[in-house]
Amino acid sequence: MHSDDINFHTRKWIRPEDLNANGTLFGGSLLRWIDEEAAIYAMIQLGNERVVTKYMSEINFLSSATQGDIVEMGLRATRFGRTSLTMRAEVRNLFTRHSILTIDSIVFVNLGDDGRPTPHGQTSITFERDRIPERLRPDVHEPRPR
Ligand SMILES: CC(C)(COP(=O)(O)OP(=O)(O)OC[C@H]1O[C@@H](n2cnc3c(N)ncnc32)[C@H](O)[C@@H]1OP(=O)(O)O)[C@@H](O)C(=O)NCCC(=O)NCCS
């Protein structure tokens, strides 16, 4: 895993409710956060709010974190399929930069209005806000400012 080409997004402060019986970060909390982060990333990359988790490869918990630590979540698109997007994930400690978790492959599928896989038409990563799905307010018909 090379952190260099991963973009780190959301940060989380480890709170008492995120701890396991060992007093360290609960893996389930971490997976919930990374799945949410991946969903948002997929929406932005594919320009569609209807995306679902299809597959997660082996999850490697490399080290832990304790209460008061701050972790940051990183994702990188690694493959644009026809209806799918594959990403690589890393969670690391904000202060020490030690990796806490890596997932080589998280696959999201782009769905149409019928809930079936539908081609997304994207082939490369965007670093802009140009694909964010539009949600027009009924009283405002002007394009949203970027
Ligand atoms: C997502 C879902 C609609 C896909 O349906 P499907 O009939 O498997 O769809 P397809 O076979 O057409 O595959 C769709 C894409 O997923 C990919 N895919 C399917 N199974 C895969 C797997 N095990 N690993 C990686 N990619 C996979 C396919 O390659 C295809 O990608 P492509 O178009 O880019 O080549 C269906 O499996 C589903 O509803 N799953 C539940 C999703 C969900 O609710 N997730 C939330 C967690 S519970």
What is the per-residue pLDDT across 33-73, written as a single tens digit (0 to 9) for each?
999 999 999 999 999 999 999 999 999 999 999 999 999 99
In a domain, 71, yes or no: yes
Domain count, the chain: 1
Radius of gyration of the chain (CA): 17
Confidence of residue 88 (pLDDT cuts 50, 70, 90): very high
In a domain, 9, yes or no: yes
Torsion of CA 145, 33, 123, 108, to 10 degrees: -120
Tell me which of 105, 109, 123 to substitute to probe ligand 1's pocket, judged by most ligand atoms within 8 Å of the beta carbon.
109
| Rounded distance from Cα 84 to ligand 1 centre (Å) | 7
In a domain, 118, yes or no: no
Residue 115, H or E segment: none
Nearest to 55 by CA among 118, 130, 106: 106
The residues, any chain, with a CB within 8 Å of residue 133's CB and separated by 6 or more, are: 43, 47, 48, 49
Domain range for 42: 3-110
In a domain, 29, yes or no: yes
In a domain, 125, yes or no: no
In a domain, 69, yes or no: yes
For residue 19, the model assigns a pLDDT of 97
Q: Tokens representing 65? A: 């974190």
Q: What is the mean pLDDT of residues 133-140?
A: 73
Give the CATH number, domain containing residue 41: 3.10.129.10
Pocket of ligand 1 (CB under 6 A): 52-55, 81-84, 107, 109, 117
Confidence of residue 2 (pLDDT cuts 50, 70, 90): low
- Please give the number of the atom of ligand 1 that sits closest to the Cα of 119: 33
> What span, in angstroms and rounded, lies between the C-alpha atoms of 112 and 142?
26
Q: Does residue 114 come out as left (phi exceeding 0), alpha (psi in the -120 to 50 range) or beta? A: alpha
For residue 134, the model assigns a pLDDT of 85
Residue 46, H or E segment: helix 27-46
pTM here is 0.92
